[in-house]
Structure 1
Amino acid sequence: MGASPGTLIADPSAKQSALNLTLISPDACEFINNASLDDVAAACEQWPLIWLDCVGLADIALIEEIGNIFSLHTLALEDVVNAGQRPKAEFFDDHAFFVLSMIDDAKSARYEQISFFFGENFVVTFQEREGDPFEPVRQRIRISNPSRLRHRKADYLAYALIDAVVDSYFPIVDATGDKVDAIENELLNAQPQPRPKEHIGELHGLRRATNLLKRTLWPLRDALTTLIRSDAAFISAETKVYLNDTLDHAIRLTETVESQRETMIGLIEMQLSLSQARTNEIIGVLTIVSAIFIPLTFLAGIWGMNFDHMPELKSAYGYPAALGFMALVAVALVVIFKRRKWL
């Protein structure tokens, strides 16, 4: 707060930084874990394409040195260390900057920011912590000829990595859809004893998760569109065709999430309606019972008054006659309620 533009300030909770270096040529590839800046500088001179992955954002000096090696813009680096950026694409003279959120742990649906820099012959990624969906890309790099990732430039590698991030959302979205379908089936085939509190709580939790997905995916479409429409010389027309496919995936994810959100809202409203209908049914039964007993209570009150000259007070058949009359009144009320379809 108050620092000059381009000043890098590490988050106190940021993880310690580590460098993973992937070196690529048409005929060979090499992976260096826990690489040093000397390894990076040497690779820039010897390999036609390199991918530097910085995991952890605590080491500001290291990040600044990476920026110096690849001539990365300081304002973009500032966005790297300030996690929580809205997905966006920005372009500079010889490189592009692309930032989005990714799921680094599918089981817990844990999100983190990942930032991409790419130019003519390099891709630099910055992750907040370990865990990413890039293993299929690494496997494709390891595969010998033919391999597009070995023969094409940095823009195609950047596309492959961005596409892996976007595709990693599909299992989460599909799992949410399965849960929603299961709740819907249970509600539509509800047993006499539904579980309204459990359903409502679960649906609200799913809706919160879906809202987070929507906030993450919606601006991603605009960022990808900006990337596709750019006239940067280091992004080829062929790569833009592949990026269009990634954009289609992002649009499909957004539409699916929005559909799930609307379904959950409908299910919540339906659950509330079912609960209200159940309450009304119970109140109706209690009202009918009360309506039957009101005249009986009235008769019992009349005959229970201890006056000396009450009719039939000393009759031998007075008690059974009173019970029989009250039973007749109760039966008559039940018949009347059934004819009126109140029961």
Structure 2
Amino acid sequence: MIWLDCVGLANIGLIEEIGRIFHLHTLALEDVVNTGQRSKADFFDEHAFFVLSMIDDARTSRYEQISFFFGDKFVVTFQEREGDPFEPVRQRIRTSNPSRLRNRKADYLAYALIDAVVDSYFPIVDATGDKVDAIEDELLAAPRKQHISQLHGLRRATSLLKRTIMPLRDALTTLIRSDAPFITAETKVYFNDTLDHAIRLAETVESQRETMIGLIEMQLSLSQSRTNEIIGVLTIVSAIFIPLTFLAGIWGMNFDPASSPWNMPELLWPYGYPAALGFMAFVAISLVLFFRWRKWL
């Protein structure tokens, strides 16, 4: 049994030569070089073709397409760039102890590689969940404007992850239900475990996406509530000062009380100024008590 891992898709001639050596179907080879394929599984006379997207850089969540060809005694993988989650599989192959990778056929090696790709999504999904939980705690404590941009960024990343994982479930289901002679019933049991992982990933991503949508709505509601609270306070302050401004405007008119007894007679009172201030304070306090009675405060 042989595993041939090809890194880089620029040398079309070499890819065609590899296809001739392993009798790979030309249509499948076209899908190898045309990146951006939807996850799928195709079956030919002597081999199967499986394509999916993988994360080759966990720090930046960079995606790339990886293609698998496997038959009875070979596995050929094509990836766009260096960097993959296959090191645990390579370590198991290097060991001198008996292992299932050495004793079983190529379909089990293909399962191990595909399962490594699927499992590589879990750290990304878990990290996203931790970020969402942290933002939720901050929102409940002290909502800020940058939370909206953070949530939108995470939601876009989660939507991309969802579009990547959802077709993977159908592709794995196709592998499990196939009757190809080079996929044994025992290996299908392992593929079924990988399918369970993919389903769990899809459910977790969908749950995170719904949580983020809810947090965005909560942030908008909190912002609206805060705005309404500020507007309510300003309205009450304005309502208190409107009658006081009215009184100050009346007493600020320049009518001479010496010309007529009806012209601002309170200007001649010895306690006119304290009386005016006292009346204005009475009006303000009365309005505050009225607002509290109506439960507007």
On whether the aligned pair clears a TM of 0.5, the verdict is yes
Unaligned runs of 5+ in 2: 257-262
Residues 93-172 of structure 1 mapped to structure 2, 5 A cutoff: 93-172=45-124
Q: Match of 2:50, as an amino acid?
A: F
Match of 1:242 in 2: 190
User: 1:282, CA displacement in angstroms?
Assistant: 0.5
User: 1:131, CA displacement in angstroms?
Assistant: 0.2
Match of 2:233 in 1: 285
Is 1:214 equivalent to 2:162 in the alignment?
A: yes
Could you report, residue by residue, the CA deviation over 1:211-256 in whole angstroms, capped at 9, with x for unpaired residues?
A: 0000000000000000110000000000000000000000000000
C-alpha distance in structure 1 between counterparts of 2:67 and 2:76, whole Å:
8
C-alpha distance in structure 1 between counterparts of 2:200 and 2:189, whole Å:
17
Match of 1:83 in 2: 35
User: 1:135, CA displacement in angstroms?
Assistant: 0.2
Residues 310-325 of structure 1 mapped to structure 2, 5 A cutoff: 310-325=264-279
Q: Match of 1:67, as an amino acid?
A: G
Could you report, residue by residue, the CA deviation over 1:54-105 in whole angstroms, capped at 9, with x for unpaired residues?
A: 1000001100000000011111000000000000000000000000000001
Q: How many residues are aligned here?
A: 291
C-alpha distance in structure 1 between counterparts of 2:149 and 2:221, whole Å:
16
Match of 2:260 in 1: none
TM-score (norm 1): 0.84
Alignment match of 1:179 (pick from 127, 131, 136): 131
C-alpha distance in structure 2 between counterparts of 1:60 and 1:214, whole Å:
31
C-alpha distance in structure 2 between counterparts of 1:203 and 1:310, whole Å:
63
C-alpha distance in structure 1 between counterparts of 2:240 and 2:195, whole Å:
67
Is 1:253 equivalent to 2:197 in the alignment?
A: no
Unaligned runs of 5+ in 1: 1-48
C-alpha distance in structure 2 between counterparts of 1:215 and 1:278, whole Å:
36
Q: Match of 2:245, as an amino acid?
A: T
Match of 1:302 in 2: 250
Return structure 1 stretches of 4+ with deviation > 3 angstroms. none
Indicate the SS of the match to 2:275.
Answer: helix
User: Which range moved further: 84-93 or 323-332?
Assistant: 323-332
Match of 2:181 in 1: 233
C-alpha distance in structure 2 between counterparts of 1:145 and 1:319, whole Å:
102
Match of 2:171 in 1: 223
User: 1:311, CA displacement in angstroms?
Assistant: 2.5
Alignment match of 1:60 (pick from 12, 19, 22): 12
Match of 1:30 in 2: none
